[in-house]
Structure 1
Amino acid sequence: MQTLAWQKSTYSGDGSNCVYVAATPAGTIHLHESDAPNVVLSTTQDRLGTLIRHLKGTAEPSSTPDQPDGHQPECRS
């Protein structure tokens, strides 16, 4: 199993509720919160970018969903 180099998100500030991010050479992005470090969200750079744009209110509609039901998240714990 690959060891990930976790980095605290710059948006987390100095508080105790932090989001950590790690990337693999293959391009998979992993995220976890400081209060639940064993729960890891895995995604792609494109999907993370879409989420961030959506949260900022600048999301562009997707022309083709990645899955037939339109759901795209992939969570692992």
Structure 2
Amino acid sequence: MSTRRWRKSSYCQEGEACVHISPTPTVVHIADADPPRAVLTVSVEAFGALLGLVRSPDGR
């Protein structure tokens, strides 16, 4: 059983259209639901770069 603590995105829509994250000091686990059906694990640096792209107005 996973002991990860999942946090729901603040931009979550109703229903299942949500992203959940479970950060650790070195990696961030990203899932499509809580409990997760599929989990993508990325470095903290890669997650930061993803957030930078998502937040930029032109996606670059």
TM-score norm. by structure 1 comes to 0.57
**Structure 2: unaligned runs, 5 residues or longer:** none
- Other-structure match for 2:38: 39
Q: Distance in 2 between matches of 1:12 and 1:3?
A: 23
Matches within 5 A, 1:1-77: 3-13=3-13, 15-16=14-15, 17-24=17-24, 26-34=25-33, 37-57=36-56
Equivalent residue pairs, number:
57
CA RMSD of aligned residues (A): 2.6
> How many percent identity over aligned positions?
28
Higher strand share: 1
TM-score norm. by structure 2 comes to 0.70
SS in 1 for 2:4: coil
The runs of 4+ residues in structure 1 deviating greater than 6 Å are: none
Please list the CA deviations of residues 37-69 of structure 1 after superposition, one character each: whole Å capped at 9, or x if unmatched. Answer: 221010111111101111233677xxxxxxxxx
